[in-house]
Structure formats: structure tokens, C-alpha cells
Chains A and B, each alone.
Chain A
Amino acid sequence: EPEVTQTPSHQVTQMGQEVILRCVPISNHLYFYWYRQILGQKVEFLVSFYNNEISEKSEIFDDQFSVERPDGSNFTLKIRSTKLEDSAMYFCASRPTRGQYEKLFFGSGTQLSVL
């Protein structure tokens, strides 16, 4: 089965630094998502993206966050100035269409540690 791939699997950064998390969604999918999961907590929605623009975002997705699809294959999440509370596992997901019956395919995540 096709997979969503995420790189790197682990990222360590200093507080205040910028990080870019990378994802390659499944090739014929049109809708892309970022979720995060703080250790021991539930999976939280960050943002959805379609047709080169944000479709929906959560309260977590503030001005420090941005998403981009720079080259038609990669889908990136940028955090401009990381904070300690940004430490979490970040999951990318994609789906082919937006139908209620469509399943999301998740990547295996990037563990971000902010020191």
C-alpha cells in the first residue's frame, strides 16, 4: 500500500530556532494535513491544505506556524521560533478527496524536541 513519508524521524532544536518538518504525501492525493501529539496526550489537528492554500486551521496553528507545498510533491510545516511546548510528535496525513467516506493516510511522524 502507498505510504506517507516524513523526514526527519527525530529533530532536536534549540528554543527560538526555526524548524521545517517535511512530508511526502501519497502521489495522487489532493488534501493534506498536519497533526501533532504531545507525549501522553491525544492527537490534535493543526491544519488542512488543499489547492495550495489552507482550508482549515486550529487555534494551535498560530502565526509561528506555516505550511507550504513548494514543489508539487513535498508538504512542509515550518515553525518559525520554536518554544518548549512545541515538543511533540508531528504527523502528516493525506487523503485523495474530501468525502466523509475517505480515509486519512498518516505518516509515521517526526519527533520534535525543543531544548
Chain B
Amino acid sequence: DAKTTQPNSMESNEEEPVHLPCNHSTISGTDYIHWYRQLPSQGPEYVIHGLTSNVNNRMASLAIAEDRKSSTLILHRATLRDAAVYYCILIISNFGNEKLTFGTGTRLTIIP
């Protein structure tokens, strides 16, 4: 499985933007970049995904580097409810790949 590297933990003040980085230097041309998060005592939750272009949805934005070897999840205005573990996951272009492979993720702490 293609590997991603994320910081173990980050902190941010409430109501400020948060930038969560992910390195995926071994990404292949058609691998999708997905982000999930896991709130305490809950299952993982989809946040956003992208291929080449930057993406926005109601939860977050995803900025993808031009060479696609890194990406950044952007929470525009963090709230206490955004405290979670955030996972950056590559969905490889092998048609037979059925699974998402979770890394250790980034534990985001929001400071009131």
C-alpha cells in the first residue's frame, strides 16, 4: 500500500484555521487522496477527497500540491467539535484494491 506521513498531533485555537499536512511522495498518477476523521468513541467519518485539483466542501478544503506528493486538509474555522484524529489515505489505482488502509493519523486538539 502507498504510504502517507502525517504529524502525530497538532493543536489549534478555537475559531482559527487549521492546516493538517500529509506527505505521500510515492503517490501514483491516478491515486486518489482521501481524508477521514475519527471523533472520540465514533467510527471514521469521510471528510473530503481529491485527485489533482483543490477541492472544497461544507466540512473542509483540500489543497493538493502541484506534484501531488503532498496535500493539506484545511479546516477554515476550527470548533471544539473538530477535535478528532484525522487520517490521510491514498486509494491506489489498482482496480482490485478493496480497502482503505489507515495510518496513525494526526490527533487534532482544539484549545478553547
Interface residue ranges, A against B (CB under 8 Å): 4, 31, 33, 35, 42-45, 48, 50, 55-56, 58, 91, 93, 98, 100-101, 103-109
Among B13-21, B60-68, B71-79, B93-101, the stretch that binds chain A is B93-101
Asked if A31 and B98 sit within 8 Å, CB to CB, the answer is yes
Interface residues of B in 5-63 (CB under 8 A from A): 30-32, 34, 36, 38, 42-46, 49, 51
Do B103 and A42 touch across chains, with their CB atoms under 8 A apart? yes
Chain B, interface residues (CB within 8 Å), range: 20 to 34
Q: Say yes or no for B83: interface residue by CB 8 A criterion.
A: no
- A56-B102 in contact (CB<8A): no
Across the two chains, which residue of chain B brings its CB closest to A50? B98
Q: Check B100–A45 contact: CB distance below 8 A.
A: yes
Selected contact of B101 from candidates A4, A45, A109, CB within 8 Å: A45
B102: contacting residue among A43, A98, A107, A109, CB under 8 A: A43
Please report the C-alpha to C-alpha distance between residue A109 and residue B44 in the assembled complex, in whole angstroms: 10
Given the known inter-chain contacts A33-B99, A48-B98, please indicate yes or no for A104 contacting B104, CB distance below 8 A: no
Write 28 A-B pairs (CB below 8 A) sorted by A numbering. A4-B43, A42-B103, A43-B102, A45-B99, A45-B100, A45-B101, A50-B98, A56-B96, A91-B44, A98-B95, A98-B98, A100-B30, A100-B91, A100-B92, A101-B49, A103-B34, A103-B46, A103-B49, A104-B36, A104-B44, A104-B46, A105-B46, A106-B43, A106-B45, A107-B43, A108-B43, A109-B42, A109-B43
- Residue from B43, B87, B95, B98 whose CB has the most chain A CB atoms within 10 Å: B43
CB proximity of B89 to chain A, nearest CB, Å: 10
Closest B residue to A107 using CB positions: B43
Please name 9 further chain A to chain B contacts, defined as beta carbons within 8 Å, in addition to the given A101-B91, A109-B43, sorted by A numbering. Answer: A42-B105, A45-B99, A45-B101, A56-B96, A100-B93, A101-B32, A106-B45, A108-B42, A108-B43
